[in-house]
Amino acid sequence: MDEKQLEKNKKKYKKAIEPFQPKPPYFKNCIKAFMVGGFVCALGQGIANIYIHYLDLTERTVASAMIGTLIFIAAILTALGIYDRIGQFAGAGSIGTVTGFSNAIASSALEHKSEGIVLGIAGNMFKIAGAVIVFGVVSAYIVSMIRLLVQTLIS
């Protein structure tokens, strides 16, 4: 059988089995993602309120402490294997926040802990984080240059 015929057969097969494949519960998944993502955001707001009330942080300075706390909590939950179960339940609701980024970095590091602290944990931790940091820096540079250009043209 040549490749064209094989490709045609694959397409026919996919079309033939399509009615028998289960449909994903899109609405249910959206609700779960919304609820878990909302819970993470509400937790962050609660942490911020506690820091403002008990540690006398200002509204301007509390954001960094709150984000750092959420990152720490997500890393601990990843190490304990709890965040994986949350991710299985919530899907995109667990990766859309800063806790998802923390989970990605921590799980990458934990996979390679047998290779040692420097080459295993630290080296693999920054494979994911490095790409995100580079993209963030480049994006911030481009947006700031566009803003500077617009402000220059308006003035």
Place 65 in a pLDDT band, splitting at 50, 70 and 90: very high
Domain assignment present for 122: no
Decide which of 91 and 46 is more confident: 46
71: domain range?
Answer: 3-111
What is the tally of structural domains in the chain? 1
pTM (global) more than 0.75? no
pLDDT at 1 over 70: no
Domain assignment present for 127: no
Whether the CB-CB separation of 62 and 48 falls below 8 Å is answered with yes
Q: What tens digit of pLDDT does each residue of 95-116 get? A: 877 888 888 888 877 877 777 7
> What is the 3-state secondary structure of 100-126?
HHHHHHHHHHHHCHHHCHHHHHHHHHH
Domain assignment present for 51: yes
Domain assignment present for 136: no
Q: What percent of the chain has pLDDT over 90?
A: 45
Place 33 in a pLDDT band, splitting at 50, 70 and 90: very high
pLDDT at 149 over 90: yes
Domain assignment present for 91: yes
